[in-house]
Amino acid sequence: MLTLMANLAVTYSDQGRTDEAAVLQEEVLQKRRRILGEEHPNTLTSMANLANTYQEQGRTGEAAALEEEVLQKRRWILGEEHLDTLTSLANLAITYSDQGRIGEAMGLEEEVLQKHRRILGEEHPNTLTSMANLAVTYRDQGRTGEAVALEEEVLQKRKQLG
């Protein structure tokens, strides 16, 4: 039942029905916390989904608080280099950027990129996405030379991959 509710909430969000999505996601999260516990992977996924919906609604403070909690728990449970932990880092970086916390966002994005390169390799799609995200942040900071260099590298590698 909770999985169905969570899936419906994601569909609502995909349709732009973020108010309905948030209500369902809040209910799912509350129930998963009670039934599964605070650190269960499904509870953490529910928190991340709700944070994403809050982000879409412009509720960046609430989104950041949830993302920070998810990140802390994933670091503790899964470790610093687990792909779910890196996804949490990347999501938090986007929220920080939306809040104007560009320096903090850049630090997180650089960490994600460095770990993706080491774990997945230079040409993995996740690595290339991390590079592109960091390039946007560099551009937002006025570091256009670094942004262009990363963007050109991403473009070259994506062309090579087909």
Q: Which pLDDT score is estimated for 115? A: 97
Same fold, 1-78 and 80-162: yes
Give residue-wise pLDDT tens across range 98-119: 999 999 999 999 999 999 999 9
Q: Which pLDDT score is estimated for 114? A: 97
Judge: domain 1-78, CATH 1.25.40.10: yes
Closest CA to 109 of 58, 101, 76: 101
80-162, what's its fold? 1.25.40
Q: Which pLDDT score is estimated for 92? A: 96
- pTM listed for this prediction: 0.90
Say if residues 113 and 95 touch (Cβ distance below 8 Å): no
Q: Could you say which residues of the chain have pLDDT below 50?
A: none
User: Locate tokens 């630090």: which residue?
Assistant: 107
